[in-house]
Amino acid sequence: MAGNSAVVLLNSEEGRALVKRHCREANLSMSHLFELIEAELEQLGKKRKAGLWEEFDRIFDSLEEDD
Amino acid sequence: MYLRAVELRDWRSYRHARFNFPKPENGKNVVLVMAPNEHGKTSFFEAVTLGLFGREGLPLIPRARASVGSGDATERLNVSYSQFLANALHRRAIEAGRQSCSVTLEMEDDDGDVLEISRKWHFKADGTHKLYDDDLQIFEGVGRVPVRAPATTEDKDAWYREFIAQRFIPSSLAEFFLFDGEQVQRYAGRDMADQVRRGIEGLLGLPVLKSLRESLTRYAQHARSSAASPSDQTVKAVEADIANLELALAQNRQKREAAAALLPQLQAESEQLSQQLGGRGEGTIAMVAELHKDEVRYRAEAERAIEGLKDLLAGDIAIALAGNDLRQATVDRLMSEAARERWEAGRNEGNANLDRYQADLSQRLAEVRPELEDSQSSGVIEAATAAWEALWYPPPADCAQDYLHSALMGTARLQAIERLEAIRRRSASELVEKVERFHSAVSTAEAKKRERLEIEQTAPEAEKLSARLKEVSEEVGKLINQRDEADRAITALEGQMAAKRQELGRHMDRIGRGAPALRRAQAADQYAKVLGMLLHDAVPAEVSAVAAEMTRAWKSMAHLTERVERIEITEDCEVRMLNAQGEDLHQIEKSAGASQVFTQALIVAITNVSGRAFPFVVDTPLARLSRDQRLGVLRTFTDRPGQVILLSTDEEVVGEKLEAIRDRVCAAYSLSVEPDNGVAVTTVQPMTV
């Protein structure tokens, strides 16, 4: 899963279990959460987060398709 | 892992410099780089940071953040990457034909494997950074095998970022390994619980999740506003308006129908009543009064007619009865007597002048020449007198010989003549006319009376009919108003209804069009909520470990620590300084130095808990610390197995402070600046400490 190492929480079993539990309770997809994290990581160091919302559009539209 | 070498080419004031650092071992893990301010220490620090992380390292650079702020990497950047790099290229590079600068970091991990990361930045001839031309090269092993993302990797930047985070350190944790003393000062100014929370969040890489949550929240707001769809309340309000209009329409239609149902019957009754009343209807009493007045008037006229007749009878009837012949003979006689009166008046007036005439004639005759004889004069006078009298005699033929009516002289005679003439002009018809007038007036008066009596007999019934007609007329009026008002209201309401239906249609269209954006916004909100819960729940898991490490670090850095047995951190990151009895000694001394010590202890704790063996690179570590604090901080920083690179001014790690760590120093460098036609050039020299 891309971006794991940047988010140390996701490197440990306990951290991943926590994420899994919260996603399950909210009926959300973990993989899409990681995609969102990756999109945010792409923006690190930018003064303005250009392109981020287009990426969010793509990810959320794919939620519809997966449903 | 330690930093084996750092090579800078055309980086800021460094035309070319290579730092070689020995492996930390045998208790010697400290590298000192000493120089006065403005000699390149911070440029070295920035080179290591950007060399490792590229653009992602910019938030770790204090100079790239807002000028006044919290001091941590979550502050907004005040420059873009290219803007920051605009000053990175050495000032003589371009004129020397070099339009790039580079930083190369050689790391050696605990297994002895070498990793080299090299970044190169390219610039235009005017010094503008070419953003998309940055080069990143990673080499592994002694043979310098290039590390490349697999060909199938779509997002190569993400792959390299992941690689660096795994093999070196995640950027979110880097601020605890790469920092400057002034940054620590700013950080130390914050609330302890806040610092601890942020420290643990950094340890866990949570800043990215916080940033993502904020991005999702803003995205959701933007998606909702760009959908520009009406809220549920708006739609419900329009639907409620339509329902109200439908109700109002139904009510008005009912009113109209009710009026229309009752009107024909009432109008028919009104017609019938009007016919019954014969137009009298209202005002029967007034009519009776009017008839009575008429009756009185006609009776008065009859009275006048009788009086006139009486006057006629009492006045001239006797003379009238004398007959026309006698009246005419009387008039003729009076006329002749009037003529005689006029003849006598003339004669008498003439006779009054005869004597004067005779005297005058006599005198004139006396003057005639030849003189006349007395008999002649007398004869003339007698002849003149006779001629004079012949003027009057005989009297006119129409003169009366004498007066029969001597009492009627002058004006009286004339009035008598006029009266007789008037009586002559009156005819029998005048009498008849007066009689007829009398009868007519009486007859009319009687008719008025009969009419009045007839009405008075039927008045009560007429009054009832009249009252009923009034009621019916009013009711008809009200119903007509009701019907007409309902008609107008229905027309207006139907217009409003059409407009509201159109409005609802537009809203539904917009909802339809905005649906995808709203769905995205909803999804974004859901993920933002999950992130919030993660952020809340992730921190408490680390507090015990951080608290234990903080206790060790703080007790070694701070002074007057005897009273504090341990530092405890609650799940809400509240810091408690507990004595041996577990009593909270509340907050530590609030001096700037003590706050910094606390912050630096937190930094040490985070780095220890992270388990990462990454070098410490600290720029100007001892600002605003007391002597004892400086010693404590230095010892604690350096008292670790990993490499520590201290970038110190020439007044910081000197004297007793240097002595405190001298036996841990494995290498030392000094930086000096030489001017090159106004351009500062930094050179590096090894030094002995």
Task: Name residues whose C-beta falls within 8 Å of residue A1's C-beta, 6 or more positions apart in sequence.
Answer: A10, A31, A34
Residue of B74, B83, B129, B162 to mutate for A, most A C-beta atoms under 10 A: B162
Distances (CA, A) of B64 to A47, B217, B291, B395, B572: 10, 25, 115, 162, 31
- Beta-strand relationship, B135-140 and B114-122: antiparallel
Least-confidence region, from B118-127, B438-447, B451-460, B637-646: B451-460
User: pLDDT by residue (tens digit) across B239-258?
Assistant: 999 999 999 999 999 999 99
Distances (CA, A) of B24 to B118, B410, B666: 23, 179, 7
Across residues B368-394, what is the average pLDDT? 89
Q: Given phi > 0 = left and psi -120 to 50 = alpha, else beta, which region is B504?
A: alpha
CA B164 – CA A3 distance, rounded (Å): 11
CB of A15 within 8 A of CB of A24?
no
Residues of chain A that touch chain B, judged by Cβ-Cβ distance less than 8 Å: 2-10, 14-15, 18-19, 22-23, 26, 28, 32-33, 36-49, 52-53, 56-57, 60-61, 63-64
Sign, Cα dihedral of B64, B66, B70, B74: negative
Least-confidence region, from B17-31, B154-168, B384-398, B556-570: B556-570
CA B601 – CA B200 distance, rounded (Å): 13
User: In angstroms, what separates the C-alpha of A17 from chain B's closest C-alpha?
Assistant: 11
Across residues A41-47, what is the average pLDDT? 74
Residue among B685, B621, B689 nearest B20 (CA): B685
User: pLDDT by residue (tens digit) across B528-571?
Assistant: 999 999 988 888 888 888 889 888 888 887 766 677 788 888 88
Residue A26 and residue B529: Cβ atoms within 8 Å?
yes
pLDDT for residue B281 is more than 80: no
User: In angstroms, what separates the C-alpha of B515 from chain A's closest C-alpha?
Assistant: 12
User: pLDDT by residue (tens digit) across B344-364?
Assistant: 999 888 888 888 888 899 899
Across residues B602-621, what is the average pLDDT? 85
Across residues B195-221, what is the average pLDDT? 88
- Residue B75 is predicted with a pLDDT of 60
- Residue A4 is predicted with a pLDDT of 55
Tell me the backbone φ, ψ of residue B87, rounded to 5 degrees. -100, 5
DSSP structure string for B414-433: HHHHHHHHHHHH--HHHHHH
Closest residue of chain A to B203, computed from CA coordinates = A8
With bands split at pLDDT 50, 70 and 90, how would you rate the model's confidence at A47?
Answer: low
Across residues B586-612, what is the average pLDDT? 76
With bands split at pLDDT 50, 70 and 90, how would you rate the model's confidence at A2?
Answer: very low
In percent, the amount of chain B with pLDDT more than 90 equals 37
Distances (CA, A) of B293 to B290, B304, B305, B456: 5, 17, 18, 15
- Residue B60 is predicted with a pLDDT of 85
B36: preceding bond cis by omega (within 30 degrees): no
pLDDT for residue B479 is more than 70: yes
- Residue B68 is predicted with a pLDDT of 47
- Residue B559 is predicted with a pLDDT of 65
Residue A8 and residue B215: Cβ atoms within 8 Å?
no
Q: Which residue of A6, A22, A26 is in closest CB contact with B205?
A: A6
Higher pLDDT, B74 or B286: B286
Across residues B455-460, what is the average pLDDT? 77
In percent, the amount of chain B with pLDDT more than 70 equals 95
3-state secondary structure B152-195: CCCCHHHHHHHHHHHHCCCHHHHCCCEEEHHHHHHHHCCCHHHH
3-state secondary structure B487-517: HHHHHHHHHHHHHHHHHHHHHHHHHHHHHHH
With bands split at pLDDT 50, 70 and 90, how would you rate the model's confidence at A3?
Answer: very low
pLDDT for residue B123 is more than 90: yes
User: In angstroms, what separates the C-alpha of B207 from chain A's closest C-alpha?
Assistant: 8
Residue A52 and residue B523: Cβ atoms within 8 Å?
no
With bands split at pLDDT 50, 70 and 90, how would you rate the model's confidence at B72?
Answer: low
Across residues A55-64, what is the average pLDDT? 88
Higher pLDDT, B6 or B509: B6
Residue B205 and residue A37: Cβ atoms within 8 Å?
no
Higher pLDDT, B583 or B229: B583
- Beta-strand relationship, B114-122 and B679-686: unpaired
Closest residue of chain B to A1, computed from CA coordinates = B162
With bands split at pLDDT 50, 70 and 90, how would you rate the model's confidence at B447?
Answer: very high
Closest residue of chain B to A2, computed from CA coordinates = B162
- Residue B246 is predicted with a pLDDT of 94
- Residue B249 is predicted with a pLDDT of 95
- What ipTM describes this predicted complex? 0.94
CA B73 – CA B531 distance, rounded (Å): 19
Q: Which residues in chain B are contacts of A39 at CB distance < 8 A?
A: 212
Task: Kindly report the average pLDDT of chain B as a whole number.
Answer: 86
CA B176 from centre of chain:
52
Across residues B338-346, what is the average pLDDT? 92
Residue of A24, A42, A60 to mutate for B, most B C-beta atoms under 10 A: A60
Across residues B613-629, what is the average pLDDT? 80
Tell me the backbone φ, ψ of residue B445, rounded to 5 degrees. -60, -40
| pTM score of the predicted model | 0.58
Q: Which residues in chain B are contacts of A8 at CB distance < 8 A?
A: 170, 172-173, 203-205, 610
Size of interface A-B (CB pairs under 8 A): 131
Place of tokens 């993989």: A31
Across residues B442-463, what is the average pLDDT? 86
- Residue B49 is predicted with a pLDDT of 94
B264: preceding bond cis by omega (within 30 degrees): no
Across residues B295-299, what is the average pLDDT? 94
